[in-house]
Amino acid sequence: MSDSANYSNDHTSNEVNSSGSINENTVDIMIQELSNQTYGSTVDDHTNNNNHHDAAENEDDNTQSLVISEEISVSEALRRKGGHVKVKGQVIGFSEIYNMVSEVTVVCSNCGFSDKMDYSKKPVFRSPVKENAKCPRKDCGSMSQKVSTNIRYTTAMHIELQDPDKFNEIERIRVRLFEDNTKDIFAGKLVAITGNLHVVRENDNPNIKPVTTLYSESIKDVREQKQDLTQQDISDILAWKRSIEDKKGCLTEEITSYFAPQIIGYDYVKKGLLMVAANAGIPNSEKRNPKRLRLNALLIGDPSLAKSTFLSKIVDIVPNARYESCQSSTGLSLTAQVSKEEGGICTLRHGPIPLANGSICALNEIGQMHISEHKHFLDCMQEGRFTLNKYGFNAPITTNTSIIASANPINNTWKNPEDIQQSEFPTLTQIVHRFDFVFIFIEDTEPEYLREFTRRREEIAKKNGTRGL
């Protein structure tokens, strides 16, 4: 049976009026059925896109442009099923450029039937018109007449957006960008995107689970507000500096005493980590020697000596810094990777190290990651950039990121604490050479040290109003 014969015979008596012309209501009915049966369907209210004859829809479009968008987070947008919103977030991945269908025009050269389907508000991957579709009009002179289609495309790409103050990789939303909005997109960029939320299946594939996707109308850069020092701040700092100098004190030692005070001892480690924090994010320059001023640090030694605590404390005081566990990570997941999705579209996803560009990435238990994965950190640590090539996708990635890593020796403890050997380091020799600071942790079991340690713990507990050690 032909496609045109699929229409219900219930409409036959109403198709032609007494004068032999087609009734206007009948045309609307046929167009609706043409969309549902001959042209197929798409996700999320395909009917609303096709029924452009309805004057109320045009009125709604005009009204929508005047509506003030509700500002919500990425996390909240993921849980919405629709609405006109404004979402602020950080770009953590983006695809290559591709085309989507924005308009389909159908014309029958035999009877003059024509229809235009507008998808400009929500472009689709596949034309809803079935291949070799036949004219739906019963009065068409040729029942086998095939309609001609004209498809208009729009330039598109998708990005993945994440809340800037959260590092939960699960809570990211896909955003589709169109035409000029696809320009100047890079990972780590803070943007505010206005558009409409829709529940869709990726590539219009019915076998893929539906997810909430934001279809953008506009995108704007969001520049982080700098905390400029006020004149009062400067006066207070100078007064504090003079008070230290009057007491013949050392400014560096005084600042060090404020960092991680709950960790007893290891003042040399605290001072070194603060130096890393102060130099984080400085780009390399061929015009100076050394060209790299960013510092990297390794904390390695016996277990249970607060190495992980040091990492979390330094991350807390540096904006955009990240803390990552290497036990469940790979070199690619921490740097960047390209995935090819259904339909051949490649998506580049940045890992924590490039996303912490200009800051610090703390890698806890780097020795628990297979040593073959460590090679991915070489260019990050030394050059501040690297390239990724996969599926014909070439991407230069900037990583002006300082690396602070922690590890235990290969055998968990030092073989001989008085004779530390580099062969006990659970990483590549080239990686060790890229660490500007290597802090060795050795468990001290001398009674005198333990008594002093206990005394200081009691002082801290008393100062904090806590009981016990």
Same domain, 112 and 178: yes
Report the alpha-carbon distance of residue 345 to residue 95 in Å, rounded.
7
On whether residue 318 sits in a domain, the answer given is yes
List the alpha helices (DSSP H) in 221-366. Answer: 231-246, 251-258, 267-279, 307-316, 331-334, 352-355
Q: Residue 58: is it exposed, middle or buried by C-beta count within 10 angstroms (0-12/13-18/19+)?
A: exposed
The total of structural domains in the chain comes to 2
Model pLDDT for residues 281-324, shown as the tens digit of each residue: 999 999 999 999 999 999 999 999 999 999 999 999 998 899 99
Question: Span 368-390, mean pLDDT?
Answer: 94
* Residue 213 shares a structural domain with residue 265: no
Tokens of 358: 């200009």
- In degrees, rounded to 5, the angle at the alpha carbon of residue 362 between the alpha carbons of residues 356 and 367 is 130
| Separation of alpha carbons 243 and 44, rounded Å | 67
Does any domain span residue 251?
no
The domain that holds 313 is classified in CATH as 3.40.50.300
Domain around 300: 259-463
- How many beta carbons lie within 10 A of that of residue 406, not counting itself? 25
Q: Is 249 inside a domain boundary?
A: no
pLDDT band at 445 (very low <50, low <70, confident <90, very high): confident
């209210």: which residue's tokens?
45
Distance separating alpha carbons of residues 410 and 427, to the nearest angstrom: 9
The residue count for the chain: 469
Are residue 205 and residue 278 in the same domain, yes or no? no
Question: Residue 48 belongs to a domain with what CATH number?
Answer: 2.40.50.140
Distance from C-alpha of 156 to C-alpha of 213, rounded to nearest angstrom: 14
Predicted structure pTM score: 0.74
CA 186 – CA 1 distance, rounded (Å): 52
pLDDT digits (tens, 9 = 90+) for 83-136: 999 999 999 999 999 999 999 998 888 887 888 999 999 999 988 887 667 777
Under DSSP, the state recorded for 377 is G
3-54: per-residue pLDDT in tens? Answer: 433 323 333 333 333 333 334 444 444 444 444 443 333 334 433 444 444 4
Q: Which amino acid is residue 432, in one-letter code?
A: V
